[in-house]
Structure 1
Amino acid sequence: MGDIKISVIIPVYNCEEYIGTTLKSVINQNFTDYEIIVIDDGSTDNSLNIIKSTLKGCGVRYKIIHQENAGVSVARNHGIEVSEGEYLVFVDGDDYVLENHLSELYVEGYDFNLTRFAKKHDNELFKSSYFNQSIISTDDFIRKELNMEILFNFFQLAYRADIIKGYGIRFTPGVVYGEDTEFALKALIFGSRIHISNEITYFYVQRSDSAIRTTEYRRFDIVPIFERLANFYRINGKNNLANLIVYTRIPKAIFGNMIYFFYSCYGFDEVMYVMKRKNLFSKLERFRGDLKSKIKIKLFLSNPRLYYKLWFKYKNSID
């Protein structure tokens, strides 16, 4: 891997409005010895030309890969294959990072390094979880995520490349929602420690054109992803984590996304129809987690329509 400490992998599809800002933020780091790998996933706009003109003469090593449109998972996997860095860092083509992003993410001796992020939506800013420790075991971190005790996104981590490549961890092609969470939670079981920086260095920009309506009911697609992850954990001797997924994370994801759809003004009958068609009620019944969630789920299952009416009347008190 030579002297390249970090490979920054950036998938791009029709991001002409944003990719210039993204690339400039990655170029202007107070860090050296890194490479930028941009994978153009068959863009039909001017993205590829902007990528070439922005990176030309930038002073940072870079690779530009153009592939036929195959989706973000295939693009990221392509970037992993050609990367040469000691750590892998992922940035989306419409987000941006601060100048200390890579310097905070490069801490030798750890399997993973983590910084915080902020999600920007219109004029609102939502910050990811603050940690009271600078080092956490991967097992503890996974448990916090599966119990939904932390707000986490896969791009917060720098991944040791030999773990990703040595264990063949890849993004699942064809999956359009939750593939990044699956990738991170698979990779984490093969390490032992995460170094944590509480600096906010990544800005995830949620565009108005990516609102929930454009994704229909894809939020429920996280369920088969977690089922696949539970099987992966069992195969690798992590039965306790697999059970945590089945009996806590999946039911919480179902219930939380159901409430999200109600907030987004989806009709009760429509949401119930989709949940029945996807066989989500039986999976919701498995919940064995905290008492507060257990009471809410039990009340809902006993009379979904009544629960919805009460929720609608007292939105901020029972959800």
Structure 2
Amino acid sequence: MKFSIVTPAYNEEDRIEKCINSVRRQIFDDFEMIIIDDGSVDGTSDKVKKFTSIDERIKLIQLSENVGLTAAKNVALDQVKGDYLVFVDADDWILPNMLSDLAEQLNNYVDIDMFRLKGRKVFSRDEDPAPDPDYEISLSTPVDLIRENKMSGYMHNLVVKNSIVQSNHIRFTPGRVVLEDQEFTMKCMVYSSNILYYTKKNYLYFQRPGSLSNNVKTEQIPDIIECATNVYECAQNRFTGDKLHSFRDYTIIKCNQFLKAVLRDRDFPPEQVKAYMNTFFNKVNLPFHIRAMQSLKLIPVQVAKRVGF
């Protein structure tokens, strides 16, 4: 089997049929779609069962209670059988040529470990645009993507070899709410040598009303720095020298994101900022300290004053 499509769902009764139908309409038909109903209290599972009864490629895992998005996806990762993993959210949909385009590129390029894709944001569930005629395609390495700032934090931008995920036991960090997808993607990048940067927009990402804000809640701010630390520790297991330094550059970007989130959130305790930063510096083993970061303007002046760096 070429592709395993992973779709977590929680109370998606009104949206999941469009998602499933878009998968069933794929030109390339060598796939399975694993839908994890994460303890829905509506008719999500009943909608899915209508498809499992007529299409053996559609499979349902029904959880007895809501365990959260990361844990639900981990359940699916223990079941997948395809050569490559594709992630489709239950309220999104894909164009009919998505899997066939991926299969074509797998024939054009030798031993692709991972795809870095791009999705197309839509604001109406009635939109079904034509395939994207203009796109970029290039063979890259993890270091290339970091240096060119072409990483992504969305699961729909990732297609990865199942063997990489399983042999290195890459899983979503349970309970992670912020950057959980980016942490998983970056860990996959660590173990990928050949990455195809392929921006044909065959994935339609539905932007729900009211979901435009990217503000991080106070209790979620630590997720940012913990993501950076976990990715770097993963990279340390494989890389040294310049390659490891590239992942360290990524962690510094996340560190700055953490500090800017602290700056916006007046409720985050200053003493916790210092504690998280000290842990970060010890684990990442950066060759300079907080004062140096401040002088390089990697720490906002307002944060430094508030925390007392």
Fold shared per TM-score above 0.5: yes
Question: What corresponds to 2:209 in structure 1?
Answer: 208
Distance 1:84 1:90, change over 3 A: same
Tell me if the contact between 2:216 and 2:261 (Cα under 8 Å) persists in the aligned partners.
no
Gaps of 5+ in 1: 262-270, 305-319
Tell me if the contact between 1:139 and 1:192 (Cα under 8 Å) persists in the aligned partners.
no
Higher relative strand content: 1
Letter in 2 for 1:100: N
The 2-side partners of 1:212 and 1:278 are apart by 25
2:57 maps to 1:61: yes
Tell me if the contact between 2:51 and 2:58 (Cα under 8 Å) persists in the aligned partners.
no
Helix, strand or coil at the partner of 1:232: helix
The one of 217, 222, 233 equivalent to 1:231 is 233
Question: What corresponds to 2:131 in structure 1?
Answer: none
Helix, strand or coil at the partner of 2:32: strand
Q: Residue by residue, what CA displacement relative to the aligned partner does 1:87-114 show, whole Å, maximum 9, x if unpaired?
A: 0111111122112222233332211123
Question: What corresponds to 2:286 in structure 1?
Answer: none
Within 5 A, what are the aligned runs for 1:8-19?
8-19=5-16
Q: Residue by residue, what CA displacement relative to the aligned partner does 1:39-69 show, whole Å, maximum 9, x if unpaired?
A: 11111111111111144324x6122111132
The 1-side partners of 2:199 and 2:301 are apart by 38
The 2-side partners of 1:156 and 1:288 are apart by 35
Question: What corresponds to 2:270 in structure 1?
Answer: 276
Question: What corresponds to 2:76 in structure 1?
Answer: 79
Tell me if the contact between 2:117 and 2:158 (Cα under 8 Å) persists in the aligned partners.
yes
Within 5 A, what are the aligned runs for 1:1-319?
4-58=1-55, 61-68=57-64, 69-106=66-103, 107-108=105-106, 109-120=111-122, 133-145=137-149, 152-210=153-211, 212=213, 216-217=217-218, 218=220, 221-238=223-240, 239-246=244-251, 248-255=252-259, 257=261, 261=264, 271-274=265-268, 276=270, 278-279=272-273, 286=290, 294-295=296-297, 297-301=299-303
The 1-side partners of 2:215 and 2:296 are apart by 31
1:20, distance to aligned residue in structure 2 (A) = 1.2
Question: What corresponds to 1:266 in structure 2?
Answer: none
Distance 1:151 1:157, change over 3 A: closer
Distance 1:223 1:190, change over 3 A: same
The 1-side partners of 2:192 and 2:152 are apart by 21
Distance 1:195 1:62, change over 3 A: same
1:210, distance to aligned residue in structure 2 (A) = 4.0
The 2-side partners of 1:302 and 1:227 are apart by 21
Helix, strand or coil at the partner of 1:222: helix
Helix, strand or coil at the partner of 2:181: helix
Letter in 2 for 1:138: P
Letter in 2 for 1:63: K
> Aligned-pair RMSD on alpha carbons?
3.4
Q: Residue by residue, what CA displacement relative to the aligned partner does 1:122-166 show, whole Å, maximum 9, x if unpaired?
A: 89x9xxxx9855211122113444xxx655523212111111111
Gaps of 5+ in 2: 128-133, 282-288
1:185, distance to aligned residue in structure 2 (A) = 0.5
Distance 1:154 1:256, change over 3 A: farther
The 1-side partners of 2:195 and 2:202 are apart by 17
Number of matched pairs = 279
The 1-side partners of 2:247 and 2:201 are apart by 31
Q: Residue by residue, what CA displacement relative to the aligned partner does 1:289-311 show, whole Å, maximum 9, x if unpaired?
A: 9xxx955855445667xxxxxxx
User: TM-score, normalised to structure 2's length?
Assistant: 0.77
Tell me if the contact between 1:136 and 1:193 (Cα under 8 Å) persists in the aligned partners.
yes
The 1-side partners of 2:202 and 2:221 are apart by 26
1:288, distance to aligned residue in structure 2 (A) = 7.6
Q: Residue by residue, what CA displacement relative to the aligned partner does 1:9-59 show, whole Å, maximum 9, x if unpaired?
A: 11111111211111111111121211111111111111111111144324x
Distance 1:135 1:85, change over 3 A: same
Q: Residue by residue, what CA displacement relative to the aligned partner does 1:190-245 show, whole Å, maximum 9, x if unpaired?
A: 11111232211112223235454996333552221212222222233354144224
Distance 1:182 1:45, change over 3 A: same
Distance 1:30 1:294, change over 3 A: farther
Distance 1:242 1:57, change over 3 A: same
Higher relative helix content: 1
The 1-side partners of 2:99 and 2:257 are apart by 32
